[in-house]
Amino acid sequence: MREKVGTAVIIVLLFVPTFCFPFEIDPYRKSDESRLDLVFVPLHYSKEGDFSADVEHILSGLRKTPPFGEFIDRIGIHKVGLSPIEEERLFQETHGFPPLKIHQELFRTIEKSLRPPYKVAIIDAKGSRSCAELSAMNKVSVLIIGRGRYKRGDGFGKGFLHELGHSLGLRDECVHCSPLSGPGHPNCAANKEDALRYWGDLANKAAGVSFISGCCGSREYIRPTLGSLMNDADKADDFGPVNERYLRLELTGDQEALF
C-alpha cells in the first residue's frame, strides 16, 4: 500500500456524549491465551454476513502466512457489532489523512471486555484507503482497511497483513512511496552498519536476504529482501525471513523462537 500513517500521525479521537453498543467475541478464540488480540470493527456494511465473510477471509490468510500460522492459538479474534446509528456516532470521515476520526468510546467499550494492548482493525466496506499506525505489539493501535480498494480477494487479505505489519512495528520497504516514517529496526536501515546490526546474521544464509537499496521512500536506505508484504503486498506472498524472525519474537516473547 502506498498511503501510510507514520509515527508522527495520530488517529484523532472525537468527543461526543457517552453511549454504549454491543460487543461480541467469537467463541473459538480464548482471550486469556492470546498474546495478540485483533478487534474487527465493521463500517458501511449492509449485511453482517458480508462482514463476517471478510473477517474469515482475513483469518484464512493469517493462518497461511508465516509466522502467524505457527502461533494462531495465541491470536485472539474479537468482533464488534454496530448499528448504523452507532457507526455514525463513532466515526467521522475526513478529507485528509487518516480517512477517519474515531470516538474514544470505541476503546472504552472494548476495554470493558478486553485488556489492552490490542489492535483495532476497522474494515470499511466503502472505503478506498488503507493505513495503520506504526506501532508495536505492546501498544493499542488502529488499522483502517478500505475494502473498496481491493478488486481481488487475495489483495484484500494481503493488504490487511501489510497494515498489520505496520501495527507491529514493521516499516515500509517501498522506494517510490511517501516517506511517512524514517528508517529503523527491524527492516529498514539508514546505512550498512545498521543493516548489519538488524539482520546481518541472516544475509546470504536465509533465502533472499541481502542488503537491497531502497525503503521508506528513499533509495539511500537499505531493506533486507527484494520483495515482501511490506514492499509490494499485491505481488508478495510472505514477509521475508528478517520480518518473520522479528514477528516470531513478538508473538512468543521467546528468544529461542528465532531461527
Render pLDDT for 134-185 as a digit per residue (tens, 0 to 9).
999 999 999 999 999 987 778 999 999 999 999 999 999 999 887 778 999 9
Q: Is residue 136 part of a domain?
A: yes
Residue pointed to by grid coordinates 513478538: 250
Question: CB neighbours (10 Å) of residue 171?
Answer: 27
DSSP percent split of the chain into helix, strand, coil, nearest 5: 30, 20, 45
Domain count, the chain: 2
Which structural domain, as residue segments, surrounds residue 186? Answer: 172-251
The reported pTM is 0.89
Tell which of 102, 136, 167 closes a domain.
167
Residues 116 and 36 in one domain: yes
Q: On the CB side of 195, how many CA atoms lie within 13 Å of its CA?
A: 19
What span, in angstroms and rounded, lies between the C-alpha atoms of 3 and 36? 25
State the pLDDT at residue 35: 84
State the pLDDT at residue 173: 96
Count of all residues that appear for the chain in the document: 259
Q: Is residue 51 part of a domain?
A: yes
Residue pointed to by grid coordinates 484507503: 129
